[in-house]
Chain A
Amino acid sequence: MFNIINKLTHTFGPSGNEKKIADLIRDMLKGKVDEIKTDALGNLICIKKGSGKKIMLAAHMDEIGIIVSYIDEKGFLRFSNVGGINPFVILGQRVVFENGTVGVVWYEENIGDIKSIKLEKMYIDIAAKSQADAERLVSVGDMAVFESGTILQNGRIISKSMDDRIGCAILVQIALNQPRTENEIYYVFTAQEEVGLRGARTAAYGIMPDMALAVDVTTTGDTPECKPMSVRIGDGPAIKIKDRSVIAHPQIKDRLIKCAEEHNIPHQFEILVQGGTDAGSIHTTAGGIPSGGVAIPTRNVHNSAEIVDMKDVENAVKLIEAFIR
């Protein structure tokens, strides 16, 4: 499974530019599902036919990144955020464009108090010698993502874009496992989650499932002096209770808990004070689609090195397989 994860995290895909990820997943699932299609927003929808309930599983393909807004006369790039980018987190990071161009993020050194730093006061240096030089490599409107590897160490993964390639990997793994079920399963790899849960809404509208699960990451409360939160990595996948976008439908939540208990799958509960998931836009689609979520506890979310535990990932696969059966 690490192989799948590794391939997914190494593929370029900021919001609105999910094509490469979609192509990769399409290749992985060819022959394993009955139908594969895409829609106007670029969602990839893989269907395993069945006669029972229509169940939508959603994991978003897009990752956070930056977008170039201006190239100056010396070849430095000004940029804005695509999704939630903290200026302190991106400071000093390497970013990479779709064509492989690497840049380093730095800031105007006369800003005074570093605490007041904003993205507008930062720039990307792609080692260009001039404006023309820079424009050969990058255009205004191009996006870039964190440049960082994926490491498996001590049963845990350190990588960029665990949010939400780990969810994509879980869906891919389930689809490959081909769990026996009467239900019709929609493996939906959504676009543009990080900029406002956009893809999931139109995908859900097209599918009109009976119920939906969003598979995404959640923050944890297990690092030094962090805000209190009852989620730890390694303690099992987290069943979504609430985030900023949704309160899980009680029947979905209860069904997940029942599945976990029956199959002895370790699990915990997610109440996310900040941030939302695709479940938020799915559950208000059309006349309402009962939705919930399974979240992988993840440290340092929206950073170039997010950390998850492989056991949680494997248990999430088991839990969701039990859910859709």
Chain B
Amino acid sequence: MKAALDNLKKLTALDGVSGEEKPVRDYIVSKIKDYVDDYYVDNLGNLITYKKGTGNGPKVMLDAHMDEVGLLITLINQDGLLKFRTIGGIEARVLAGKRVRIGKDQVPGVIGFKPLHLQSSKEREGTVDKKQLTIDIGAKDKEQAEKMVEIGDLAAFDYEPVEFGDNKLMAKALDNRVGCAALIELLKHKYESDIYGCFTVQEEIGLKGAKTSTFQVEPDIAFVLEGTTCYDVPDTKEYGISTVCGDGPALTIMDRSVIADKDLLKHITETAKLNGIPYQFKKTISGGTNAGRIQAGGTGVKVAIIALPCRYIHSPVSVMDINDFENMIKLAKKVLETLPTSITLYREQGGGKVNV
């Protein structure tokens, strides 16, 4: 487990904004290549790994997306400031006053904001408008900025992981390096089923990578490993809390992209109970994951989501509980080890084709 946490920290320190996941992918390859039977990178950039099973289990896909939210440089102003647009969902108020690094050379920059003193009373009451924000790399003019940065470059948050408090970890990109780190760990072990570990790209801009990975793998069953929303701070009405940090990995029953497969959910909850691993259900229906895309692939795939509650997701200071992370890996591993080879591949129907 120490190795998993170490991988997680290293992964969050790498940049992999949607479309440019290579640094993350390269790291993952270096960690898994000795444990899998085969791996390749597809046209879109997904890393697809294969691990032959010891028995005749169903074909299982494990999905973790590698990409993170970030910024795209769209214009260099005359004064050398950089205009940008967000890739994936980032709130404007999360951006103001943050550190970023841009492009392959990781050019450092900051996102400035008009000082309170200079704001009109109307501005003080108002919200941050994304369009007002620019990245300042300290350039004195456009010409100098153009030497460092090109239009189309990507920028990521520039924040190092910090362990703090009671077993908590703060980092950028916990969504979804937690999934990547968990999947690396899972691939170290042998299972009865054939396992396709898919580290996918471009989840944050609309579940893109999972579409092509599913087309290639054609799995029977898929588990999505994800960082999920968690907002358990006081003042939130209890029924509005999606997950609780520290209460164990979260299982999705339904979100806007998918209704999880009942048989798989039952298998997961029973496995958790049997092994004394804590778990919780995600209590809000919002959001979507690769599970929706995977389920719709081909003739259909049975899917479930094992997620890690992450506070302040899509911000540079996401926070998670290290016990949750360890339990997520433990649970997923047990689930795979005990995945019944007899599990019906047909949803709740007690058998497939019936001739009548």
Task: Give A residues with C-beta under 8 Å from B.
Answer: 15-17, 19, 22, 26, 30-31, 33-44, 67, 69-70, 72, 78, 80-82, 120, 140-141, 191-192, 195, 198-199, 201-203, 205-206
Contacts and interface: CB of A to CB of B under 8 A. Distances in A.
A22 B349 contact: yes
A44 B354 CA distance: 11
Query: Which 4 residue pairs of A and B lie closest in terms of their CB atoms, listed nearest first?
Result: A202-B300, A16-B259, A40-B300, A42-B347
B131 interface: no
A80 B356 contact: no
A205 B254 contact: no
Contacts of B239: 69-70, 72, 78
Given A33-B356, A35-B353, A40 B296 contact: no
Contacts of A22: 349
A37 B353 contact: yes
Nearest to A33: B356
Contacts of B240: 120
Interface in B308-356: 345-349, 352-356
22 contacts: A16-B254, A16-B259, A26-B354, A30-B356, A35-B355, A35-B356, A38-B349, A40-B295, A40-B346, A41-B300, A42-B347, A69-B283, A70-B238, A70-B239, A70-B283, A80-B284, A120-B240, A141-B253, A195-B259, A202-B297, A202-B298, A206-B298
A38 B346 contact: yes
A30 B354 CA distance: 10
B156 to A, nearest CB: 32
Interface of B: 220, 238-240, 253-254, 259, 261-262, 281, 283-285, 295-302, 345-349, 352-356
B307 to A, nearest CB: 15
A39 B300 CA distance: 7
A82 B296 CA distance: 18
A15 B353 contact: no
B285 A42 contact: no
Contacts of B262: 16-17
A16 B296 CA distance: 13
A40 B356 contact: no
A314 B349 CA distance: 31
A17 B343 CA distance: 18
Nearest to A20: B348
B281 A31 contact: no
B353 to A, nearest CB: 4
A318 B253 CA distance: 41
Nearest to A199: B300
Nearest to A71: B239
B345 A40 contact: yes
Contact of B347 (A36, A38, A206): A38
B299 A202 contact: yes
A39 B345 CA distance: 8
Contacts of A140: 253, 281, 283
Contacts of A33: 356
A146 B32 CA distance: 50
Contact of A40 (B254, B281, B283, B347): B347
A51 B229 CA distance: 52
Contacts of A39: 299-300, 346-347
B351 to A, nearest CB: 8
Most buried by A among B240, B283, B301: B283
Nearest to B253: A141
Contacts of B259: 15-16, 192, 195
Given A30-B356, A40-B301, A82 B345 contact: no
A120 B301 CA distance: 31
Contacts of A120: 240
A97 to B, nearest CB: 14
A220 B121 CA distance: 52
